[in-house]
Structure 1
Amino acid sequence: MKVKDLSRERLIWIAAIVLILYLIWFIVKQLITPLVLSFIFAYLFRPIHKALSKRISRELSSVMVTIAVLAMAIGAMVIFFCSLPRTVELITKELNYMSELIVRNFPQLKGVISSVSATLLLQQEAWRILHLVRYIPKVIIQFLVFIISFGFILYYWEEASLIISRFSEENSLIKKMVGRADKTLYSVINVWFTLSLIKALLMSILSYFLGLGSSTSMILGTSCFFLELLPVVGGWIVWLTLSIYLLLHGSVLYAVIASVYGFLLISPVPDLVLRPKMISKGSEVNQFLLMIGMVGGLMAFGIPGLLIGP
């Protein structure tokens, strides 16, 4: 009888632990992306924090670097929201121009296009409003988690590194795994940002030589940089939009040049050919395994999977 009670109690405890772990995962999984991004940015800004810590206190250094990152993030959001009305206006003009072009060549479709355009516009605006209302609180919370985590990770980086190094010294296998993980992480992050910067410069050069002006070229290059930091999205959106814009305005040759240039030098060819090779060289991991890790990690975990996968 006691054995049965003991086994029943054990099963209850196991079920309770599983339930608690599931609830923890359910809560934490919403914050994985900001936590991983905070770790990435802390990794990137660590040299600056380390240099400042030699002149001022570590606490003040971490606060200053965190404020600098916060200012950059707020600045990027302000620029984005300030340029959003102009972008929407340009897109609306292009859609109207496209509709007029179709109606001019196919007058019989005038009523259909007007009806479809009005319906799609109403549905799209309603979806945007609902989407913004639903996700604004979530984005604010994730942003706060990112900033707070960034500051804490930056401040306690040395202690964490010391604990890991002491623990790994006792086991050669763990030491080897930690060393390999550090190499892979360093390679993934550096290649990620380096390629994004190079692609942004290439996008700006393309736009400038196509006669779009220095300010527009800078905007397109900046957009390409930030889009390249987001997996799946990528800089192909910029060159594809530019090609469609040029095509609609009758610049067929420029549209073809932009498409070929973007496809070969911006996205997706460099991501499929150059990125795995560069990461593999820096991390000493097989290219095929690296590609499987990146794709599988992205599918399983989203943005954090690009680091977790490899």
Structure 2
Amino acid sequence: MGVVRLEKEKIVWIALIAIIIFLVWETLKELISPIVFGIAATYIAYPFHIKLSRKLGKKLSVLLLSALLAIFTILFFIGVTLWITDTLRNLYAYLNSFFSWLGSLNVPSFLSSIFDAMATSFPQKLRDILLQYTLSLPKLALQLIVFLAVFYATLSNSDFLAREIYELLPSSNRELGEKLIEKVRDTVDAILKTWLFFSIIKGMFLTIGFYLFEISNVAGSIAAGVLCVILELLPVVGGWIMWLAGAIILWKKSTLLALLFSIYGILTISPVPDYTLKSRFTKGRASVSSVVALVGIFGGLIAFGAVGIILGPIAIGLLLALIDAWKEIKLKQPSKARHSQDA
């Protein structure tokens, strides 16, 4: 009777936990993206928070960083409200032109097939993702508020949360848990603090350049910056294609302006930042395979939407960490069996 009672209690507890998890998921599923982006922003801002805390104290540091992020968030919302329609139209035109150019290249048949598939699916997918965040401005405003709230809360309690994560690791497989956490940290470092960070910075410089040199209007310049970020995530190609295209457009107007913009592009987009700032910034950090990053980012983008840019590479990184751990276990097993035979 005692065993049966324990089994019934276990079933009740499992059912209760399942119901709670379901209710929490239904509550948060529409807010997963701002929550994940808020945590990611905290991770990026944490080193700056540590430095500011030494001078201003933790509370002032959190308030200052949160205020700066709030300003950028408000500017982003205003930009979406004013220019999103024209930006989407320009971005779609740029993507079609880019994939038409790719299709005209003399490349092997398998690459040509990949380019054709990307040309038919990727622009529409990107457009759907952007429209998802912009068709309902009240919904977008709510997500931005959640994003800021998550950033403030996680940055304020960053030390406590870090301790809690390690305390939750099971004692029996603690080594594996620590390896998984380390793999997540390495992957997030490589994706957020190097790849995406530099891609976004280059996109911002390209947007400023397109507008200052009057290559396009505000919406067209923003679209060019977004495409620059996308191209920076691809191997071989990069943001240099965008500043080169801008220089060609300017060449028809003024040779001097085209040369000046080319110098601007070389210094701020590619290749100078790749050989100076990026190499210093990534020094001493674990690297992530470009294939893993590429497949993770674009696979995650297709599967999960915008938040997949972060979740995709982390998922693949965790899978690789589990494979490595399994290999280590397999290598240890024969040595233990041999040792017992010798005994």
Deviation at 1:159, TM superposition (A): 2.6
Deviation at 1:136, TM superposition (A): 3.1
The change in CA–CA distance for 1:285 and 1:27 in structure 2 (over 3 A counts) is: same
Is 1:67 aligned to residue 67 of structure 2?
A: yes
Residue aligning to 1:144: 145
Residue aligning to 2:41: 41
The change in CA–CA distance for 1:290 and 1:20 in structure 2 (over 3 A counts) is: same
Residue aligning to 1:161: 162
Is 1:53 aligned to residue 23 of structure 2?
A: no
Residue aligning to 2:18: 18
3-state SS of paired residue (1:55): helix
Q: Deviations over 1:159-191 (max 9, x none)?
A: 323444677797333332222221110110131
Structure 1 residue identity aligned to 2:27: I
Indicate which of 191, 194, 199 corresponds to 2:198.
194
Structure 2 residue identity aligned to 1:303: A
The change in CA–CA distance for 1:154 and 1:132 in structure 2 (over 3 A counts) is: closer
3-state SS of paired residue (2:56): coil
The answer for unaligned runs of 5 or more in structure 2 is: 91-131, 254-268, 270-281, 314-343
Aligned length: 235
Deviation at 1:4, TM superposition (A): 7.3
Deviation at 1:157, TM superposition (A): 1.6
The change in CA–CA distance for 1:68 and 1:285 in structure 2 (over 3 A counts) is: closer
TM-score by length of 1: 0.57
Contact 2:202 2:228 in 1 (8 A): no
Structure 2 residue identity aligned to 1:57: G
Contact 2:73 2:144 in 1 (8 A): no
Structure 2 residue identity aligned to 1:301: F
How many Å separate the matches in 2 of 1:215 and 1:292?
36
Is 1:184 aligned to residue 184 of structure 2?
A: no
Deviation at 1:66, TM superposition (A): 0.6
How many Å separate the matches in 2 of 1:153 and 1:218?
38
How many Å separate the matches in 2 of 1:306 and 1:6?
44
Contact 2:169 2:177 in 1 (8 A): yes
Deviation at 1:78, TM superposition (A): 2.6
How many Å separate the matches in 2 of 1:157 and 1:36?
15
Contact 2:300 2:307 in 1 (8 A): yes
The change in CA–CA distance for 1:229 and 1:42 in structure 2 (over 3 A counts) is: farther
Is 1:294 aligned to residue 293 of structure 2?
A: no
Residue aligning to 2:110: none
Q: Deviations over 1:96-138 (max 9, x none)?
A: xxxxxxxxxxxxxxxxxxxxxxxxxxxxxxxxxxx99973332
Identity in percent? 23
Structure 2 residue identity aligned to 1:45: A
TM-score by length of 2: 0.52
How many Å separate the matches in 2 of 1:64 and 1:158?
18
Contact 1:49 1:65 in 2 (8 A): yes
Structure 2 residue identity aligned to 1:192: L
Contact 1:200 1:221 in 2 (8 A): no
